[in-house]
Structure 1
Amino acid sequence: MNLNANILKIVNYVGVTLSTIGLIIFTFGFFGNGNNILTPIGIGTIMGAVFIFVMGIFFVATEEMLNKTKKGASI
């Protein structure tokens, strides 16, 4: 359980960091300057952060279920 908690903390930290960076890039591209190329880069960064977060949660949940079934606990 301790390893799963550490993985979940790391995934949460990476997800929040990338989401913040993506939001800053998006707002700077959308509102800041005339260079509109930063807007889709910000959107892609936010989507990547969400994807990493969801995959990390799925990984932790799968590992937890595998550990419970090895101990003989009913699902």
Structure 2
Amino acid sequence: MWPATKQYTPMDLLKIFEQNKTVIMLEMVYNGYFGQGHNIIYKDLKDNGLFSDYPYSIVYTKEDFIKILEMGDVDVQNVIINQS
């Protein structure tokens, strides 16, 4: 298998995918967490209609993002959300 700690270039990832079509690649953006006891897990997202079944190609709307913040007990009134 491939080491999880390696930094892969886009070309590395493309090569891996082309050589093994059963590989599932996820791009995840992580910019902090909601604090102990407030984390959102896969089951929470799935149960709230925010994570679909395979194939994964998820783009969240502003409303979805707000729902996720609320699930993490974030006061949405204190969050600046890009309007574009």
TM (norm. structure 1) is: 0.23
**Greater radius of gyration (CA):** 1
Which structure: greater helix fraction?
1
TM (norm. structure 2) is: 0.21
More relative contact order, 1 or 2 (CA 8 Å, 6+ apart): 1
